[in-house]
Amino acid sequence: MQSKVLGQTAPKYSNEFLAIGIGADALGLGGSVVAQTDNVNSGYWNPAGLTKVDKWLEIGLMHSEYFAGIAKYDYLGLAHKINDKSSIGFSFVRFAVDDIPNTTQLIDNNGRINYDKITSFTAADYAYILSYARKMKLKGLSFGANFKVINRQVGDFAKSWGFGLDAGLQYHSPKNWKFGLMARDVTSTFNAWVFNLDDKMKEVFAATGNEIPTNGLEITLPKLILAAYKKVEIGKKGIYTAAELDVDFTTDGRRNTLIQTNAISIDPHLGIEVGYKSFIAVRGGLSNMQYVKDFDDSKSLNLQPNIGLGITIKNFKIDYAFTDIGDASVALYSHVISIKLKLDRPSNMH
């Protein structure tokens, strides 16, 4: 299903590589972190959380592989505390499949097979996200915004550049309640595609029944996320439990989500964490709730479970998650590890 916006096509799942998520801590919670995120990874999840960055510089790193190592996902995040009220951040995301065989030139004009004509190419998606966050006059309220540049490439055959904006709010109450609001692609994100196909490739497309792509504009419609978080201390020995519920509202047509209409689809996900002070945390999450049709046409509700573990030693944090990036019915789970590092201002800069 596709929507029409300003005479352009807005396909479902546009720029979907930005919906995978970053940080093993968040992935272990099923992506339910929009209200609680308070570190360098906030530039991705909710830029308002960058106001909680308490060091001169925070660095976030993640590498993961999916589909038996075929697809690689990399993330680098930087966050800098400007002053007591504001912070900035930068996030880089790359999702790519490398060394894809190109067999469009395999058969020459005389019908002979020439394996020397097989080459390889890379299909890669890149996102560059610049974030700014500031505390508001109301105590506990923060605002953040992202400006993002998206570059997508399919070898030398196709490329696109896109631009978009995100906006987020967080409110942290003094009673361990946190609330979040994240508007992704708030003004819609526009990707301009340019295709470079030679006559031979067009012939292959036509002979195999594939539509020959043409230059055009791809639009990513807005997505709204509402979130609520609660933390409860257990006794006085530093043990706690916390939970967050996020609800995603997508506007690109009917998706296979828990609640779906032709205009809006609603996808709730839940994360629970049990930990000891800031040293260790065990996490679990439920996400990707959807109805799956069985062979007898009956439907059953599928849930995607996620688990994770985090350890913090002073200014260094390492997180692990066992999670799936997509269809819960297929269960293509992967091991994900990410790290965060906090740095003080160098002494020669005082």
Mean pLDDT of 36-45: 97
Q: What is the pLDDT of residues 249-260, one digit of tens each?
A: 998 888 888 888
286 pLDDT tier (thresholds 50, 70, 90): very high
Q: What is the pTM of this model?
A: 0.87
DSSP 231-262: EEEETTTTEEEEEEEEEEEE-SS--SSSEE-S
pLDDT value at position 112?
Answer: 77
Candidate from 157-161, 224-228, 315-319 with smallest mean pLDDT: 157-161
Confidence of residue 261 (pLDDT cuts 50, 70, 90): confident
Mean pLDDT of 295-313: 88
Using only the alpha carbons of the chain, give its radius of gyration: 22
The structure tokens listed for 170 are 């967080």
Structural domains for the chain: 2-349 (2.40.160.40)
- The CB-based long-range contact list for 100-107 (8 Å cut-off, 24+ gap) reads 100/155, 102/155, 104/200, 104/201, 104/204, 105/200
The rounded distance, in Å, linking the Cα atoms of 186 and 177 is 26
Of 64 and 88, more confident? 88
Residue 200 has what pLDDT? 65
